[in-house]
């Protein structure tokens, strides 16, 4: 066999992240169909309908305190005594308030017709008590019209669009949907994801004890955070485990995963080494549309299609895998679900560190907010150091070629908005 000499070819410039993301999102056509789920189970899902209120919330003017409902005009001074001839707990309705009287009322109970204020019980003294109800009460503080009354419709008016299609549901949004009577919600279908890791060095924690690790072996960490991230995004995950570093095995895994899945997500094996088989396997079975992006960490990112399934190859280094997931895969999956907001806004914060090592690529640095309102940087920014992503509470989005001096304002994306 002759060894052919190939002159080095000029490397194509890496694709800027914004361009790569735009191209990636152009491929992410929202999945067809919708699913009805119990409001209890809809956290994190993307709403596939507008929710329109068919009632006012609150449905009637009601008391925001335990106390006495009265007419302000009946109050003269702090010796004023009013008759108490009705008691209105929450869940019941009173009757029109006679002039010169007050109604014993509890939080959430409807204000009786005629009353225009509530005085909290701390400022009232029962003068003579009947059977569990004071027959008269002294009102010791001046009532003001509207005081301690929650107005009908002050939260939601009937006809309001309370939540729009494309909203990613949060716990508070579930409560809001429930407050207008929705016990079931129509949401986007779950994205069916096949996940596998490549790497002959990988072993599973729980299967091999640290003391029994062969030289060169490492634990598979990517599998754990990728699976958790996918679940948080409302995906159903088929975990195909670890695939060996062989072209035939890689092709077989991709081939079978391409059936019944919307997305195949892999980690590792996507660079240019002889042990990296993802790229040739995807090219042999389908098409590779995107490969290598100008970000650090995470350059060897790949996107392609295998039949109807999308393919995304993440780098093997754990931090590269995590960052590319958050910056590229997360918006991709949200778009498949028809989400209106795909990527979180970054916030402007002051750097409390110096960063002299400008990179040619746009860089995502692991940092955390400090008590002084600035950002501290994790000391080791290597793409293999997963500790940085646990110590940190977000990513600094640092433009290509930019150094950072103490006090500079930088863009920061909190993990709280990326990991949910």
* 304 near Mg ion, rule: CB under 5 A: no
Q: Which residue has the tokens 């646990």?
A: 390
Beta carbon of residue 239, minimum distance to ligand AMP (angstroms, whole number): 12
Beta carbon of residue 240, minimum distance to Mg ion (angstroms, whole number): 16
Q: Work out which of 67, 269, 298, 313 binds ligand AMP, going by CB under 6 A.
A: 269
Q: Please answer whether residues 305 and 311 qualify as being in contact, where contact means their C-beta atoms are separated by less than 8 angstroms.
A: yes
* 279 near ligand AMP, rule: CB under 6 A: no
Q: In this complex, which beta carbon is closest to Mg ion, that of residue 269 or of residue 313?
A: 269
* 134 near Mg ion, rule: CB under 5 A: no
Beta carbon of residue 219, minimum distance to ligand AMP (angstroms, whole number): 7
* 323 near ligand AMP, rule: CB under 6 A: no
Pattern of binders to ligand AMP over 186-205, x per CB under 6 A? -----------x-x-xx---
DSSP code string of 32-101: S--EEEEGGG-TTPBB-S-EE-SS-BSSS-EESSSEEEE-GGG--STT-EEEEEEEE-TT----PPPTTE
Q: Ramachandran region of residue 417, left (φ > 0), alpha (ψ -120 to 50) or beta?
A: alpha
Pattern of binders to Mg ion over 165-204, x per CB under 5 A? ----------------------------------x-----
From the list Mg ion, ligand AMP, none, partner contacted by residue 165 (C-beta under 5 to 8 A by kind): none
From the list Mg ion, ligand AMP, none, partner contacted by residue 397 (C-beta under 5 to 8 A by kind): none
Q: Please answer whether residues 346 and 395 qualify as being in contact, where contact means their C-beta atoms are separated by less than 8 angstroms.
A: no
Q: In this complex, which beta carbon is closest to Mg ion, that of residue 147 or of residue 220?
A: 220
3-state SS, residue 283: helix
Q: Please answer whether residues 258 and 213 qualify as being in contact, where contact means their C-beta atoms are separated by less than 8 angstroms.
A: no
Contacts with ligand AMP in 127-166 (CB under 6 A)?
Answer: none
Percentages (nearest 5) of helix, strand, coil residues in the chain = 20, 30, 45
- Rounded to whole angstroms, the Cα distance separating 420 from 173 reads 14
From the list ligand AMP, Mg ion, none, partner contacted by residue 298 (C-beta under 5 to 8 A by kind): none
From the list Mg ion, ligand AMP, none, partner contacted by residue 110 (C-beta under 5 to 8 A by kind): none
3-state SS, residue 271: coil
Structure tokens at 395: 């990513």
Other CB atoms within 10 A of residue 312 CB: 23
* 318 near Mg ion, rule: CB under 5 A: no
Beta carbon of residue 280, minimum distance to Mg ion (angstroms, whole number): 14
Beta carbon of residue 43, minimum distance to Mg ion (angstroms, whole number): 35
194 burial via Cβ count (<10 Å: 0-12, 13-18, 19+): buried
- Rounded to whole angstroms, the Cα distance separating 216 from 203 reads 10
* 315 near Mg ion, rule: CB under 5 A: no
Q: Work out which of 110, 189, 234, 268 binds Mg ion, going by CB under 5 A.
A: 268
The residues that touch ligand AMP, with contacts defined as CB under 6 A, are 197, 199, 201-202, 218, 220-223, 267-269, 271, 315-318
The residues that touch Mg ion, with contacts defined as CB under 5 A, are 199, 268-269, 316
């Amino acid at each position: 066999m002759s060894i052919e000499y190939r002159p080095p070819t000029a490397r194509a410039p890496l694709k800027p992240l914004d361009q790569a993301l735009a191209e990636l999102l152009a491929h992410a056509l929202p999945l067809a169909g919708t699913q009805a789920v119990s409001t209890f189970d809809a956290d994190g899902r993307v709403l596939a309908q507008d929710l329109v209120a068919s009632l006012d919330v609150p449905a009637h003017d009601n008391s925001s305190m335990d106390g006495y409902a009265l007419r302000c005009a009946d109050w003269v001074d702090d010796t004023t005594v009013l008759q108490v001839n009705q008691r209105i707990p929450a869940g019941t309705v009173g009757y029109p308030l006679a002039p010169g009287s007050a109604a014993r009322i509890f939080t959430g109970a409807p204000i009786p017709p005629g009353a225009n204020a509530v005085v909290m019980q701390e400022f009232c003294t029962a003068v003579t008590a009947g059977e569990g109800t004071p027959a008269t009460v002294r009102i010791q503080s001046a009532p003001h019209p509207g005081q301690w009354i929650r107005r009908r419709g002050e939260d939601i008016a009937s006809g309001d669009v309370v939540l729009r299609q494309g909203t990613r549901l949060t716990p508070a949004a579930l409560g809001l949907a429930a407050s207008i009577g929705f016990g079931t919600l129509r949401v986007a279908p779950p994205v069916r994801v096949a996940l596998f890791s490549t790497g002959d060095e990988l072993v599973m924690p729980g299967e091999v004890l640290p003391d029994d690790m062969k030289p060169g072996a490492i634990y598979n960490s990517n599998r754990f955070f990728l699976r958790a991230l996918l679940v948080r995004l409302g995906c159903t995950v088929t975990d195909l485990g670890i695939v060996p570093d062989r072209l035939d095995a890689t092709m077989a895994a991709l081939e079978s995963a391409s059936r019944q899945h919307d997305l195949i997500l892999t980690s590792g094996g996507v660079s240019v080494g002889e042990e990296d088989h993802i790229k040739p396997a995807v090219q042999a079975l389908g098409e590779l549309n995107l490969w290598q992006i100008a970000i650090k960490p995470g350059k060897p990112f790949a996107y392609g299609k295998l039949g109807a399934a999308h393919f995304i190859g993440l780098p093997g280094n754990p931090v590269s895998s995590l960052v590319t997931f958050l910056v590229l895969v997360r918006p991709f999956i949200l778009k498949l679900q028809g989400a209106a907001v795909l990527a979180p806004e970054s916030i402007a914060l002051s750097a409390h560190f110096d960063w002299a090592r400008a990179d040619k690529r746009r860089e995502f640095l692991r940092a955390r907010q400090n008590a002084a309102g600035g950002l501290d940087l994790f000391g080791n920014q290597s793409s293999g150091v997963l500790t940085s992503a646990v110590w940190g509470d977000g990513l600094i989005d640092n433009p290509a070629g930019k150094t950072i001096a103490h006090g500079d304002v930088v863009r920061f994306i909190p993990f709280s908005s990326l990991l949910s």
